[in-house]
């Protein structure tokens, strides 16, 4: 026997209540914050990984690479681009988390 939309909706509402949510909006906001936090953590961990590898912060590493003359280290240049992407991603998701928290 197929479950009706009403029964599915009732079941969904019961699950939300069991998870201590008052309504769908509250659950959606919480899930969005959780997802944004996970993205922020991923990018931050990538930045920390590069800091550990190179023993410095992004700005110092960027200066080191830009000051090289007649030298090319493709690995370091690739890492700099990846690190920049991770840094910008972390900043983006941190900003979005602040926006989300202000909505609450």
Residue ranges of the chain with per-residue pLDDT less than 50 = 1
- The C-alpha atoms of residue 93 and residue 61 are separated, in whole angstroms, by 23
**pLDDT (0 to 100) of residue 4:** 73
Q: Is 100 exposed, middle or buried (0-12, 13-18, 19+ CB in 10 A)?
A: middle
**pLDDT (0 to 100) of residue 94:** 97
The reported pTM is 0.80
Burial code of 63-82, b = ≥16 C-beta within 10 A, e = fewer? eebeeeeeeeeeebeebbee
């Amino acid at each position: 026997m197929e479950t009706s939309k009403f029964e599915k909706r009732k079941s969904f509402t019961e699950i939300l209540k069991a998870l201590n949510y008052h309504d769908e909006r509250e659950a959606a906001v919480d899930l969005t914050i959780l997802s944004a936090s996970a993205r922020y953590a991923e990018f931050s961990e990538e930045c920390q990984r590069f800091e550990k590898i190179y023993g410095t912060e992004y700005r110092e590493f960027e200066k080191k690479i830009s000051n090289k003359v007649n030298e090319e280290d493709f690995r370091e240049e690739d890492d700099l681009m990846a690190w920049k992407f991770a840094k910008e991603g972390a900043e983006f998701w941190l900003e979005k988390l602040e926006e989300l928290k202000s909505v609450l």
